A and B are shown apart, each in its own frame.
Chain A
Amino acid sequence: GAGVSQTPSNKVTEKGKYVELRCDPISGHTALYWYRQSLGQGPEFLIYFQGTGAADDSGLPNDRFFAVRPEGSVSTLKIQRTERGDSAVYLCASSPKGLAGGGGNEQFFGPGTRLTVL
């Protein structure tokens, strides 16, 4: 079956522009996670959805970052007024239940979107 997919795989943009990154989780997975990984670092948590609602958005670095999951499936991470420091690989993961469903589930990762802000 299909795994987690992310589009685009690469995105190059100019400083100040707006970008949207898309994540398609595994069908039926209720929990969806966004992470950001800078070069040479481990991923860092951004936001976690349980269904349509953001259960924890404590990792979003500032109000330029926003994410939605309107139908509880596909999610879009939106970055306004991009800055060079936003350059990173943005990873999405999904899991069958997440904490609300009992937690403790394995997370399945997508291939990531490499964002470069010039």
Chain B
Amino acid sequence: KNEVEQSPQNLTAQEGEFITINCSYSVGISALHWLQQHPGGGIVSLFMLSSGKKKHGRLIATINIQEKHSSLHITASHPRDSAVYICAARYNTDKLIFGTGTRLQVFP
């Protein structure tokens, strides 16, 4: 059983909509990463967080340690946000355990 679960698996939105992607993990972690993967495979790190909330431009990531849950929000979504968004949990050994990803498509 994967220790990191994401939902939804697929998400479509109209340009301008507010988007939320959820991630839950099964045991205690040291940090939670959000990554973006574009067609062709390139992965970019968006956030690394262990508590609270981080914001970068239109992207916001939150984590609730007690609930073992994190969310990635995109405000005023744009077609260029279309990508696969992956959450990954960092455990004590420093390796990342990845979720299966959420495929987001934003239409104009």
Instruction: Spell out A's residues near B (CB within 8 Å).
Output: 31, 33, 35, 37, 40-45, 48, 55-56, 58-59, 89, 91, 93, 98-99, 103-109, 111-112, 114
| B28 nearest CB across to chain A (Å) | 15
User: If the complex has contacts A104-B30, A104-B48, A104-B90, are A45 and B96 also in contact, measured as CB distance less than 8 A?
Assistant: yes
Interchain CA distance A89-B43 in the complex, whole Å: 12
Contact partners of A109 in chain B: CB under 8 A: 35, 42-45
Number of interface residues of B (CB under 8 A): 26
Q: Is A48 within 8 A of B45, CB to CB?
A: no
Complex contact A55–B41 (CB within 8 A)? no
Name B101's closest neighbour in chain A (CB-CB).
A42
- With A109-B44, A112-B41 known, 12 other A-B pairs at CB within 8 A are A31-B94, A35-B98, A37-B41, A42-B100, A43-B98, A48-B95, A55-B94, A58-B93, A59-B95, A103-B30, A104-B48, A104-B90
